Structures are given as C-alpha cells and as structure tokens.
Structure 1
Amino acid sequence: MNSKPKIDQEDFEWTAAELKAAKKFADLPKSLQTKLASRKSRGTQVLPTKISTTIRLSSEVIDSFKATGAGWQTRIDLALKEWLKEHELAS
C-alpha cells in the first residue's frame, strides 16, 4: 500500500506553530466554555431509531456522499430506504 492517504478536512494533524498559537480551554471566555462544554455529548436517545454497524462500501460511494457535506451518513440511510421501497430483496 504505497499510495498517500487522503487528507480529510475533519482529520488533520496540527503543526507545531498551530499548537503553540492555540488557546487553552481555561483561557476562553466563561460563556464560550459553557457553550462548548454543553456540546460534548448528545446523551442517550429517547427512542433509538438507528443501529450502529460496520459496512464496507466502495470509495466511490463514500466519496460521493461525503462530498455533499455534513449528514452524509443520514443521506446514505435515506438512499437505502428509497431503494428498499422500489426493490424486493432476494433471499
């Protein structure tokens, strides 16, 4: 596997200069600390409607959906639901 990995905008390494310039959480205004702290976890779903699983899809499919921005996994779910409405699964 000699190919270079793709750079994902959401998964990158900070440079030493970026780390040095970054502010510590404690140095942020209290109002911003409160807002950021409240976003840490979603908590449990009242009515879980989705099941976490692992599925292998072609890079073409993943790249196409990721290119549409945030919510791409939900759009894959919707596309599969539409497909199920129009097709009968073979046993």
Structure 2
Amino acid sequence: MKQTFITKISDEMDDYPEFTQADFDRATFRIKGQPVSKDVWQKAVHTKVKKQKISITLDPDVLAYFKAKADGKGYQTLINAALREAMLKEHFKDDLRQIIREELKHA
C-alpha cells in the first residue's frame, strides 16, 4: 500500500500566496498545452484515472473494519483491493474448472 507522508509547514515558512476560489475560477484548463473547457478537462482526468465514482451502502461493521485496517486513511483503496481480489479469485475458479474439465476429457 502506498504511504503518503505530509510535512507540516508553518505559515511563516510558506512563501506562496493563498489561493482563493476566484483564482481557481480564472484558471485555464489545458490538455497537451491546448486550452479546453472545465468539463472536457474533468472528463479527460476521469478517463485517465479510469475509475468511476459511485455511491455504495455498506454495513457499519464492514466500513469500520476497513477504516480500522487503513488507520482512517485510504480505506476506499482497501475496499477496492478486496473487491478486486474476490473478482480475480472468481475468474481463477472458473479457469481452473475449465482446465480440469478439459483434462478429464483427455484422460
């Protein structure tokens, strides 16, 4: 699992001005150096990331388990990994059954 380390920098050490919503509203979104609309840029980002945002309802104990395992950070990544593992095991079982059937035919 990827770990992120954050170093707290005091305001006195920060030379950069604070960004406001107005600054972000004036931003120019670019893809490969070409200006694009915010909607086009957001679609490109989502396509590049290749993840979909969904809403899911989980039992409280399941959510608590993953949050505790992730120490409160990155629990969604752990849930995704658990789902991927279950998916891959299912594919593995199907492939194994097919191989066994083929081997039994030739025996």
**Higher helix residue share:** 2
**Higher strand residue share:** 2
TM-score w.r.t. the length of structure 1 is: 0.48
Rg comparison, structure with higher value: 2
Between the two structures, name the one with larger relative contact order (CA 8 Å, sep ≥ 6).
1
TM-score w.r.t. the length of structure 2 is: 0.42
